[in-house]
Structure 1
Amino acid sequence: MYYPTSHPWSADQTLGDHLAERGVNRRDFLEFCGSMCAVLGLSNSMLPRIAAQLEAVKRPSVIWLQLQECTGCVESVLRTAEPTIGDLVLDVVSLDYQHTLMAGAGAAVEKALADSMAANKGKYVLVVTGSVPLNENGIFLTIGGRTGREILEEAARDAAAVVGVGACAHFGSVQAARPNPTGAVGIREIITDKPVVNIAGCPPIGDVVTATLVHFLTFGRLPEMDSEGRPLFAYGKRIHDQCPRRAHFDAGQYVEVFDDEAARKGWCLYKVGCKGPATFSPCPIFQWNTRTSWPIGAGHPCIGCTEPFFWDTMAPFYGRLPNVAGFGIESKVDTIGAALAIGATAGVVAHAVATGVYQLRHRKKAEAAASAAGSSTTKEG
């Protein structure tokens, strides 16, 4: 979503002034703030605060390190169908260092990094894509003669916030897959003295990056996170629980083979490997390419790319997850009805279970007695 600006800021200009100068009217700006409230899971009562804080923000400095990765995360954040207010918010961030996007190279660029960290000490936001290789003293990644670990530790030391973008920064991604020859790790293994928020995914959704930065600019802190450091506003629910194909799962309507009739009808992809039941991600809600589509919407199963070590734990990608509970459409009606009725109260559950066990035991005893009687009659004959 970031793209180099052709509208330079004036000295001490605020974000509100700059957006107005670029033709963004108040209504569009408030609409964007409202969408950020929704994305962050905040009530509409927070809209005035978000708007006021963003309007007053002066251009914050961002330093973006690319470590051991494929550049897919950068591409994801760059790509947008049209300039949106979200693009403008990222556009007005001062991206002081990003070696892929910068025109310069060599010593001049490394000096720009050092100068920016010194000038904005304690104020800049550090964005990191890519993993950190540790084997062989980190020689698998060197930039300007220094290892990735050295560069990361130096840049994180005086950062106001650290944002890891993508699966590589989260846990190491494909480089960390067995046998992990480079000893790749996520940035939280290196940065242990301050919070790190991970925008998980391979690649992640650009809108989550925007919303995380808006949260930091509004409240001066990172959003609430789960145990993996992922922002809960985006990664608090499983894909399975938000999936538009969930009704087909509950009904036992599955795609058995790609391009079968069930696939053409848009049925559940669980049996062809979908990892949605084990994956926490906002993909069904945010989607991709300005909410055009997402993998399951396009007919491909989720591969669980927001989960740690998914290259190993979710493989094979087209193999089904075991033991995911759900009713099949072919289940007996009395089975489903009994389960729903049993769920009414704990007392009913206990009574129903006890009754069922008693009846089962009684039936087995009766069958055993009848069998014994039959055997006795046969012997006597």
Structure 2
Amino acid sequence: MAERKTVGDGLAARGISRRGLLKYTAYLASAMALPPLASRAMAQALADAPRQSVIWLSFQECTGCTESLTRSYSPTIEDMIFDLISLDYHETLMAASGFAAEEAMEAAIADNKGKYLVIVDGSVSTLDDGVYSTNAGKTNLQTLKEVCADAAAVISVGSCAAFGGIPHARPNPTGAVPISDIITDKPVINIPGCPPIPEAIAGTAAYFVTFGRLPDLDHLNRPKAFFGDSIHDRCYRRPFYDQGKFAHSFDDEGARNGWCLYELGCKGPVTYNACATMKWNGGTSFPIQSGHGCLGCSEPDFWDRGGFYQPLSSAVMGDRTLIGGAALAGLVAGGASALRARKRRADAAKATQSAPGKEETRS
């Protein structure tokens, strides 16, 4: 096997200077919530690291996760493929097809045994031995087990791979399950979302290339750098929530003034993701900024919870409330604040109406 070129070799061949590399690692350190001084260490480690072999598998999915990745802007998909990683297999993006594509994957596994990274989007069918989703004459279940056997780690991209997603929703006719239900002997990192934020995918892969390990994860195996805060806590509409100013329909005065969408069913208070800070399409916008409440797509079973347009306080799943105790306490406190704000406005309005000299002049 020919020696794999380092990331530094690839950058130099494309005329990218050390200053350019430092600029990128500074952005990455910031995105991953690392100390500023980490950017220099990252730049050196990244320059000396070989391009990471990546095998991307697509199962029961809609290709939305790949579409999202192609819109990553730091690093871009071009920078990812040509500089940071060696994308050795990806059915949608690779030029080869058929037998040539499968041979490329087999070669990548043989040449990088124990070192390659597997990225998966889509859930896996398990009913009747997984016959409801197949490729290249194999079930997804069989392919996943074979490809992950000698992998260094697995990244589940999108809510379908991370938590089962829409294929897993009731009545789940294919027996769809998340990747972590099948791969239990390898590190599995979840980057949920429907679709996930592209920089979360690219940033996590770049972190692995740089440090050779996975970043800090939360209780759902999500990178804390991207899933450590709720959308509600970072939302620019949060002050309106605290003031008790809510939109009650998608075209009322509150909606036109950009007030909080909580009463229209926004799930931001119980959804952990970086949508409100990183946004989409190069930082242009995110659903709440575009006037629609958060659906909670980066949380488990978001589809079956229902109540997309019901406030959290009334949305239920089966015989239990949608929100947990801590979140409920926060919402109760916020709701009390909102009620107090409404009462102050009502009292002020009454005082204005009853003040001397304020009677309406009639002609």
TM-score by length of 2: 0.85
Partner of 1:330: 342
**How many angstroms apart in 2 are the aligned matches of 1:171 and 1:14?**
34
**CA shift digits 1:17-51 (9 cap, x unpaired):** 32132132332221111111111111112111111
Taking structure 1 as reference, are residues 105 and 84 closer, same or farther at Cα in structure 2, changes over 3 Å only? closer
**CA shift digits 1:307-364 (9 cap, x unpaired):** 0010012x1211111062211121459xxxxxxxxxxxxxxxxxxxxxxxxxxxxxxx
Unpaired segments ≥5 residues, structure 2: 314-327, 346-363
After TM superposition, the structure 1 = structure 2 runs for residues 1-381 of structure 1, keeping only pairs within 5 Å, are 12-80=4-72, 87-92=78-83, 93-313=85-305, 315-322=306-313, 324-325=331-332, 326=334, 327-328=337-338, 329-331=341-343
**CA shift digits 1:47-70 (9 cap, x unpaired):** 111111111112221100001101
SS in 1 for 2:342: coil
Taking structure 1 as reference, are residues 84 and 42 closer, same or farther at Cα in structure 2, changes over 3 Å only? closer
**CA shift digits 1:70-105 (9 cap, x unpaired):** 11001000125x685674144321111111222332
Shift of 1:283: 0.6
Shift of 1:261: 1.5
Partner of 1:370: none
Give percent identity, aligned residues only.
46
| 1:318 partner amino acid | Y
| 1:98 partner amino acid | H
| 2:342 partner amino acid | E
Equivalent pair of 1:90/1:210 in contact (CA under 8 Å): no
**How many angstroms apart in 2 are the aligned matches of 1:88 and 1:103?**
17
**How many angstroms apart in 2 are the aligned matches of 1:175 and 1:111?**
29
| 1:116 partner amino acid | A
**How many angstroms apart in 1 are the aligned matches of 2:111 and 2:9?**
24
Q: Size of the alignment, in residue pairs?
A: 322
**How many angstroms apart in 2 are the aligned matches of 1:11 and 1:124?**
15
Partner of 1:350: none
**How many angstroms apart in 1 are the aligned matches of 2:209 and 2:86?**
13
**How many angstroms apart in 1 are the aligned matches of 2:134 and 2:75?**
36
**How many angstroms apart in 2 are the aligned matches of 1:87 and 1:285?**
24
After alignment, is 11-20 or 218-227 more displaced?
11-20
| 1:316 partner amino acid | G
Equivalent pair of 2:148/2:154 in contact (CA under 8 Å): yes
Equivalent pair of 2:51/2:209 in contact (CA under 8 Å): no
**How many angstroms apart in 1 are the aligned matches of 2:105 and 2:111?**
10
Superposition CA RMSD, Å = 1.8
**How many angstroms apart in 2 are the aligned matches of 1:212 and 1:304?**
21
SS in 2 for 1:224: coil
Shift of 1:108: 2.4
Equivalent pair of 1:235/1:282 in contact (CA under 8 Å): yes
Unpaired segments ≥5 residues, structure 1: 1-9, 334-381
